[in-house]
Structure 1
Amino acid sequence: MNRILTASEHLMWLSYRNSPENVTLSATIKGSFTIDLLTEALAWLKLRHSRLKVKIVTLHQNQPQFSLENVPPIPLRVIERRGEEHWCREMVEELLYPLSWSEEPLLRVLLLHSSDVSNLIITFHHCIGDGLSGAYLIRDILQFIGEPDSPRELLPDLPPVDEIIPDITRNWVEEDLDNSIKAESILTATYRNNHEVNSSETFPLRLFHWTLSSAETTKLVARCREEKTSVHGALCAAFLLGIAAEIKSQEEIILRCHTPVNIRNYLTIHVGENLGEYITRPVTAHRLSQKTDFWDLAREVKYKLNQVVAEGKLFDDVLKARALLSSNSKKGEETSDARDIGGIDIVITNLGNLNIKQQFGKLQLQEFYLMATGTKSLPLFIGVATLQEKMCFICRYQESLVPGTNAYNIKNIAMEQLLTALVEVG
Structure 2
Amino acid sequence: MRRRLLFGERMLLGDGTEPFNAVIPFRLRGTFKEKDIQLALTQLQGKHPWLRALIHHDENHVPWFEVLERNLPIPIRIVHRKGDDDWKEESMKEWQTLFNYTELPLLRFVWIKGEEVSDMLFAFHHCLCDGGSAMSFLNEFLQLLDNPFHDIGLENPILGIQDVVPSEILANRGQQIKAKVIGRLAATAIKCIPVGKKAIERQKDYLVHWKLDKTMSQELISYCKSKQVTVNTFLSTAVLQAFKKVKGEKAFNKVSCPVDIRRFAKQIKEDHIFAFGLMIVVSANQKMSFSENLHLIQESVERKTSKLNPYITMMVMESAHDALKNFTKLLKHGKSSNDCMFSNLGRIQIPHQYKAFTLDTIFSPSVIGPLGNTTTMVASTFRGEMDFSFIGSEGYLPHSEALAIRDEVMETIKQQLEYLPVS
The bucket for the TM-score relative to the shorter chain is 0.7 to 0.9
Q: Secondary structure at the match of 1:307?
A: helix
2:61 maps to a residue whose letter is: N
- Which residue pairs with 1:356 in the alignment? 350
Counterpart CA distance in 1 for 2:194 and 2:405 is 22
- Which residue pairs with 2:100 in the alignment? 100
- Which residue pairs with 1:63 in the alignment? 62
Change (3 A) 1:358 1:233: same
Residue 199 of structure 1: how far off its partner (Å): 5.2
Residue 288 of structure 1: how far off its partner (Å): 4.3
Give the 5 Å matches for 1:234-383: 234-249=234-249, 254-269=252-267, 271-284=269-282, 286-289=283-286, 291-315=287-311, 318-327=314-323, 336-337=328-329, 340=332, 342-368=336-362, 369-375=364-370, 377-383=372-378
- Which residue pairs with 1:229 in the alignment? 229
Counterpart CA distance in 2 for 1:33 and 1:259 is 38
Counterpart CA distance in 2 for 1:263 and 1:413 is 31
- Which residue pairs with 2:18 in the alignment? 19
Cα RMSD for the two superposed structures = 2.8
Structure 2 gap ranges (5+): none
Pairing partner for 1:423 from 415, 418, 422: 418
Structure 1 gap ranges (5+): 185-197
Q: Secondary structure at the match of 1:383?
A: strand
Change (3 A) 1:390 1:325: same
Counterpart CA distance in 2 for 1:64 and 1:6 is 9
Q: Secondary structure at the match of 1:239?
A: helix
% identity of equivalent residues: 20
- Which residue pairs with 2:88 in the alignment? 88
Does 2:402 align with 1:403?
no
- Once the two structures are overlaid, the 10-residue window that deviates more, 19-28 or 201-210, is 201-210
- Which residue pairs with 1:187 in the alignment? none
- Which residue pairs with 1:195 in the alignment? none
Residue 148 of structure 1: how far off its partner (Å): 4.0
Change (3 A) 1:248 1:135: same
TM-score, L = length of structure 2 = 0.87
Counterpart CA distance in 1 for 2:233 and 2:188 is 29
1:356 maps to a residue whose letter is: I
1:382 maps to a residue whose letter is: M
Residue 277 of structure 1: how far off its partner (Å): 1.7
Change (3 A) 1:270 1:61: closer
Counterpart CA distance in 1 for 2:357 and 2:331 is 39
Counterpart CA distance in 2 for 1:348 and 1:178 is 29
2:242/2:409 contact within 8 Å kept: yes
Q: Secondary structure at the match of 2:206?
A: strand
Deviations 1:249-298 (A, max 9, x none): 4x9x65111111111132152513222225212233x1443x43223323
2:124 maps to a residue whose letter is: F
Deviations 1:6-64 (A, max 9, x none): 333223223x6363221211011111111110011111111111211210001102111
Counterpart CA distance in 1 for 2:205 and 2:157 is 35
1:351 maps to a residue whose letter is: L
1:11/1:321 contact within 8 Å kept: no
Change (3 A) 1:312 1:199: closer
Q: How many residues align?
A: 405
